[in-house]
Structure formats: structure tokens, C-alpha cells
Amino acid sequence: MSETGKSEGTSRDTEAAEGVSGERAEAAARPQSSNWNAAYEENADDADKAGPSKEDAARIAALEAENADVKDRLLRLAADMENLRRRTEREIKDARTYAVTSFAREMLSVADNLQRALDAVPEEHRSDESSGLKALIEGVEMTEKGLASTLEKHGVRRLEPEGQRFDPNFHQAMFEIPNTEVPNGTVLQVVQAGYAIGDRVLRPAMVGVSKGGPKAAAAEAKGAEAEAGTGQ
């Protein structure tokens, strides 16, 4: 081979050697993290294709069951706390409303005695200033009104059932009064006043009720028809 050919072959071998050396240097200079990221992504793709293992699936199922159980217990606890809050509010309200029940019941006898004293005074003495009873009567009346106002201030109200339909929850029938002009079971006379505190009966009213009249339902229907006719 000529010197020229020899030199050309040698130069080619040199260039090839230099190319291999450059590729190795470039690979050595490349960051190692890139190789790791590529390997991690490849393993992740393989894991995704393979799907979760049985151990992972069992663990996920156990965690989901535990999460559902904790959620259920929290919901039950929240419901219990809400019920407790409402019950406490109701008990506090009842305590405020009915705290004076026993005291108010004892004071009813005082109110009854004052009312009896006023009822016992003859009518002619109420306007007779010369007897000196007028001022006393006025004082007793003011005392009776003040007591009634104080009781009402604390939630105790007097029942006024006269003319109303008899209600066994608030009234106590003492006798019957024959009367065909009013519906049967109407309160016509109050023997002793009744009182209520809040929604509870402190003392039922002792009353006399009508007997012999039309039934209350028929009387109400007749009254409604009369009102409809008047409206037309």
C-alpha cells in the first residue's frame, strides 16, 4: 500500500477512535439522575401495566373499611351531640318556665281568699262611703289585682272558660246545667277559677256544663252555614 493510502487508513482509524472516545466522554458527562429517572419511569410503567398486587388491594380494602367505620362513628357522635344540645335547651327552658310551679300553686289559695272576701261584700257597701268599707274594699281589690299581675308576670295565667267548650284537660265538671239553647258541653258557670303555667295546668277550673242542647259539632256546622249565608 502506498504511503498515501497508509496515511488515509491511519487517519480514518484515528477519527473512529476519537468518535468512540467522544461518545464515552459524553455518556460519562451525562447526569446520572437522567438515567435513574428513565429507569424509574420504565419500572412505573411496568407496575401500572401489572396492576396492584394482592397485598396492596387487601390493604386498600382495609383502609376503606376503616375510613367508613370512622365516618359512621363521627356521624353518630354528631347526631348524639345535637340531640343533647336540644334536650339541654328544652330542659333549661322548662326549668325557667316551671321553676315557680310549687310556689305559684301555694299562692292560689291566697288569690282564692281575696276573691272570696270581695264576693262576700254586699253590693250596697261598695258605694257607701259613710261605712268606711269602701276604702277597705278598694284596698283588697288592688291587692287581688297585684297578686294576679305578679302571677301572670311569672307565666301563671287565669283560665276563663265560661262560654267555651268543655275541655277535660283544663276543666273539671262539677255538675250539669239543663239548657237547650246552647251546645251540649258548654261551660256555663265557673265555681272555682283555674290556672295554667306555660302549657301545663296548675289547677283545673271547676265548672258547670250545659246539658240537653244540640251536639257541639252540629251547632258548629249550623253556625258555619249561617255565616256563609250572611257572607253571600
Grid look-up 468512540 returns 20
Residue-level pLDDT, tens digit, the chain, 232 residues: 444 444 444 455 555 445 545 555 554 555 444 555 555 565 555 555 555 678 888 888 889 989 999 999 999 999 999 999 999 998 888 888 888 888 888 899 999 999 888 888 887 777 777 667 778 888 889 999 999 999 988 889 999 899 999 999 999 999 999 988 889 999 999 999 999 998 889 999 999 999 887 876 554 555 445 444 444 4
3-state secondary structure (DSSP) of residue 155: coil
By DSSP bridging, strand 205-211 and strand 171-178 are parallel
The three-class DSSP label of residue 230 is helix
Which residues are paired to 206 by β-bridges? 172, 192
In angstroms, rounded to a whole number, what is the distance separating the alpha carbons of residues 116 and 145? 14
- The helix (H) or strand (E) run that includes residue 102 is helix 101-120
Residue 170 three-state SS: coil
The three-point CA angle 53-57-61 to 5° equals 170
First to last CA, the chain: 138
CA distance 114 to 103: 17
Summarize pLDDT for 148-193 with one digit per residue, the tens. Answer: 999 988 889 999 899 999 999 999 999 999 988 889 999 999 999 9
Q: What are the grid coordinates assigned to 228, written together?
A: 256563609
φ/ψ (deg, to 5) at 198: 65, -125
The Cα 218–Cα 204 span in angstroms is 27
Q: Among 151, 152, 157, which Cα is nearest to 170's?
A: 157
C-alpha cell at 192: 272555682
- Whole-prediction pTM: 0.56
